[in-house]
Structure 1
């Protein structure tokens, strides 16, 4: 039996893919399918969407009806910025804007302060206002902290809203009583104006007198501290010099003369120590203690001696030591040795002199540093008290300058005029502020739509079933042989009528199958699926019936011997079948049947249910049987068992000439299908393609679904239908 590859070349698979899903280019071709899918998702979940939106509207309506009617009154005030140009003469524009922003933010927080709410309670005498108490249901106030309790009520219903790009502020109060709302809004504005005047000018005279007294005291303390500091420094010889600090706006750092001398001598001592160490290292290093000139002279002498030694060695090879030229060379070499020794002695003496000079200078500097170090330690002890006196002077000067600046600010401040005024007083509202029926219903409708969209989106995303048959090629790498709509009536009856959509779909799948198989029918075709109920058995019947109508000799083998469903489609009255043939209890010819519903092909039923199906199929009997059947029939259609969970399907698939995988739309999960395909591939099955079954209206946005495009205007007149498709 010849084997075919599990994936066909692109030249063979492309015609089938083009029938199932033609490609279009351009942005419009990308947007249109997405819009169609969204519309299809809305159509598929229309009742769920309507239920969620209706529930949201009902909740909004009930909430609106049960909500308390509230009235809001608003008082508008203006807060002007106080002029501080006299005090802040050197302030930049950015600093002024920052101060203005801080000022207004501070005023907004004061408007929301509990202290202001308590003042409103006290000035309006709300604890005795029966109308206010009745509005908020405050029939029994606590004996203590009544003002705090009423202030909490006010803070819970007040709203402070600054008007953008202006110095205006809206003070709004909301309550079930319109008169109470207007009363509190106006009272809040008046209380804020009064509290602002109190904060600005209430204690200005007392503050000015207090500052004058404190300035006189600090001036006297500052003068005394400065005199004491100068006297202590002079008596202890604590003269200081000032040096500029890096990065610094004219800032200086101070240190005493002794510290400055000690720092300079310490640096000189470090350099002298380094020179002494270098001279000592040069003295201790053999052959490396000479300076550059000495090294050059010694090197030249050694080079001359080496030349003479080489010349003498050459003469000794031919003459004796008493040969006159040899004796002359010996004398010259001795003379050079004396000169080299004298040069080395002179060089060593020069290095030692440098070392002695460096050591003497180091010792002198060390003695002077030790002397200054003692003086510096003594000054450090005395400088502690000097630092204390210096800090006292600085502290008194800072306090004096700060109080003097504050005194000047009080002196130039305007007195007697408020910078807060009422622009619009609150009026008694005529219409309720809340609840707003139309606004609440619109909000409920929008929320319902959003919730419905989220639910539908999650539902569609969590659905891992096949919706678009074009996904088969991209995910499985297999061509789509055909796309079959769901059957609305008797399946066998529809297959027997060529004008039905179901027949046309299977006829197109049969034609694609032949085209993919290079224009010829496979000798044996196994139809299987990942799980039961995906239309494999009905597809096997349909393929056998269509092949028989084409004049082919066809045999339908029911190989699902564990759980055969063939009797639900065809009238098969026999207990003998494939299981008995594989056991050797019967011949396959004796078990053949021909169904009355589907004329034109033979049927080899499954027989009695077998518990050892895998053992029967794995033996040599099934392979031998299949070879014999292929010799007697043009096409052997095998209704195989599901792949997952059983070992039967891979055993049959490895023996069949071709395998057609049945995949149900809108059901199952992709990972089941992928696992099933992997098992078939591992069994070396020749998977010719995928047959997508049970398409319905949920697939209409992908070009599939009800109507399906079949029928071709045949109508309902069966007499006009040709006998062969």
Structure 2
């Protein structure tokens, strides 16, 4: 007997697949007999159906060119682009009335015994009905298939239609080429005269307007404008440079600074000599200043010589500045003369530009006519080469000729018999299943496993309803019927298999009951039922070498370190760990349970004996169901109430037999 705080049982209806399978197996002989009977009847009917043979020829659609033709023809063939519309057009031409009539005339089918007594229109209609023209998937191949009761006739007509279409395409290309050649010849004669007149008009216009061309196909006026513009730019640059250098020297002299550092003064021979002399005198003065006072005659003589040389350097700077200013004036005069010449050329260039518009128009017209003439000449050469009948290569050719077939295309006896057998079996099996469902024999009532409530008598229920003060346990006790361990484990496993409870906490109020042994048997049953299980040891206190739950609670191990998984991934185990006790203020254990419930179908937590040292409070907020193991002597009612007060939503009381008191 078991006690629980969960909802009452509910009855559900499900389909018994095993019963349906047994019903199908019982009808297997009848199904096989009816299927064989239907197949035999179909085979007998097919024996009287005429055999139809299909023969097919294959055509390849692609451009071809004669190797004796010019390279332009070959390049045109390479540029040929085939699309689906081109292949579809070829298919429609093959199925056309003219192609079939050409094949009939070539094969002389009107005199064939198979078509005796039929006129041309009826023969064409009959061949068109039995003709199948399709494109092979993703290719340029066109398949011409013809069906007939005579295999030789099927191959003959398929080949005849293929040959008729190829000959027709060759004739169409030659006819088009001959018409194109005549038209091109007339146009070429007209364009030659037009091109000659246009080129003469260009030459006369150039001579009349002095529009002569120099190097790089550029007019002489434009070349002169470019040269004068470049010379003016160079003169302006030289004038600006000379003026800047002269102004620099003048500014240094006016401010009283030395010009010895200016590059123009340094490059002058006089400036170089004076610079060397100043350096020599300054060195000598430095030597004398080491032993003589500043007012000594020798020092004063050296200072006077240095001042005199500085005056000469300034004079040299003025001379150089005047020379630079004169050079700037020369460049300015040159720039003025160049500008005047440039203005004159601009007037001439303006006239040439206006006349150049007319010249460019004449040249464009002549160029367009010349390019058109060249294109016509090239096309005429190609068309002339294709005018010969023997040189015509149509854009389609036969790659596979039709041969008389050996096996008939219809009827497909084997495929028909297989289809009849499959349909017969499916219909009969469906009828059996429908019959079982309709009769209700395949429907069974399914009772989900729910926790059991304690059996109490009417007097106890009445006492509970009126809230009578509890009497001592020795005087009033609830009666619990013990159940076998295997029965209880099977019931719990069924509930887990149905998804009713996924987190199970195992505890006991009797020290003689081994909760770990119960958990191991329950885990083995769940795994045997193909459920994935995670088991957590929260009660043993046995310290080991592997990290476990105690290490996780004191932050000495991570979640991935404490979960030890089996190789097949169906079972995971969290041991006690290396620490002596659990940290009851840590929420990492509840987090571990939530994470394992997302990964595994069932989580089993072993908390051991209830009491002050129990780990039951640590898992009260996980939404788990508590399995309280008790005995007939203890009953477990008080422990169940205490567990419910901890926050557990459901407590399943399991009274196990065989736990007898050792006290007389």
Give the TM-score normalised by structure 2.
0.49
Give the TM-score normalised by structure 1.
0.46
Greater Cα radius of gyration, structure 1 or 2:
2
